[in-house]
Structure 1
Amino acid sequence: MTAPEIVPLAGLLEENLASASPDFLRAMVKTFAEALMSADADAVCGAEYGQVSDERVNQRNGYRPRSWDTRAGTVELAIPKIRSGSYFPSWLLERRRRAEQALVSVVATAYLLGVSTRRVTKLAESLGVTQLSKSQVSEMAKHLDARVAEFRNRPLDAGPYTFVWLDALTQKVREGGRVVNVHCLVAVGVNAEGQREVLGLDVAAAEDGAGWLAFLRGLVARGLTGVQLVVSDAHAGLVEAIGAALPGTAW
């Protein structure tokens, strides 16, 4: 049986990423915050970095370091400097908690659903940044998308993963002009340091044995080892997939 549709998967994933993968979350928050500041500084200068433009009113002039405390630990930010006057993002001072929550939320959503320019634009606007060009927004989305892909395909080398939890959550998504149900297959494990870790997440059209088997084999190919106990519901296809992909593992 899958979880009901009202389960906030993005929020659940955000909680797991924040508590179990601080290095990943910290790196992605840093990447996105610096991309946002770079685009904002370009807007202050009147032109993008390195662009020749008659509308340019200022020049970029390197960076200065700034520590930012977040739930994932301290992030060392590189804040752009400009030649005339000074630049400092207001959201970093006045809305620190709100900014951090917004960035963590978009990171989690990006992991789950991918990054869209609309989502990036909305995040920037929520932080008071409204002068971004389409090319800047697109570039920021690409930055975050690349880090998400890197994390989703990373080697699972922090094993052995003695305990693994598997579940599928049903979500509604818009596809081809209509709303359909998809099944999000999630794996969370305990690594060699005793910490929870999001091992993988995949989206399938149906929760069946073939989908679970492909998902688990993908985890094994990335290095999932040492599993002694898998915890899940009694979905027949899932139980059979566990036996096929992780032979000898207790369920």
Structure 2
Amino acid sequence: MRRTTMNAEAVHPEDEAANYLFDNWFDPIEAGLRERVRGFIETMLETELDAVLARRRYGRQPAARSDETIGVAGHRHGRRTCTLTGTFGTTEITVPRARLEAGEDKTVEWKSKALRAYQRRTMAADALIASSYLAGTNTRRVRRALAALFGGAIGKDVVSRTWRKVKTDWDAWNARSLADEPIVRLILDGTVVRVRLDRKATSISLLVVIGVRGDGQKILLAVKNMGRETTEAWRAILDDLVARGLRRPEFLIVDGAPGLD
């Protein structure tokens, strides 16, 4: 009788504990860069709070002259630490805290505009995660592919939450008002991209509308998956733009694609 032996790698080819190539190498450039990134972020947050309070850290509120802007009354009360993941990797930063006077003997916690409350990833990191998923990769592969860059900080739930946020932002973008856009020209074109639909990678045809403002600046107005380029599909897209307040353009630029004859 012949015995067949299979090693653990063959049985579990996608073992989550698999070692990454060069993962035990120390890179002084990466280490130095991340340390500088940490310092830059912390300095940016301190500067933002200084501007709000109109004084340096540990400084007193200066007496305002008539030609000066008075900062918001308040006081610092320590710092907190949080872990932030970006395209630079994952780093732990210190965030300053402050209480601002809100009237009637009440105070409110200062909120940074640069770092949102409970934010754990930069927008660039979220965009990278979402684009990897939209390129036709499932959540497990996205997690494994980005683990080396993000130091293993990207879990399946993070990928799913990031995608849901992107979907919410996308829906809001598609419903935004165009009434205040000074569009004078429209460019209509179709393109084919590869995306992930129903857990499968596939190619779809997208109909794209670009607006040109009076100063020559181009902005993206619409991107729709209408199945294919037809007269009915283009009409539906243009009707939607009109319903959202888009004014009649002076010129319409097309490339002779199907449905635009």
TM-score range, shorter chain: 0.3 to 0.5
Higher strand proportion, which one? 2
Higher helix proportion, which one? 1
Higher RCO (Cα < 8 Å, 6 or more apart): 1
State the TM-score, normalizing by the size of structure 1. Answer: 0.48
Which structure has the bigger radius of gyration? 2
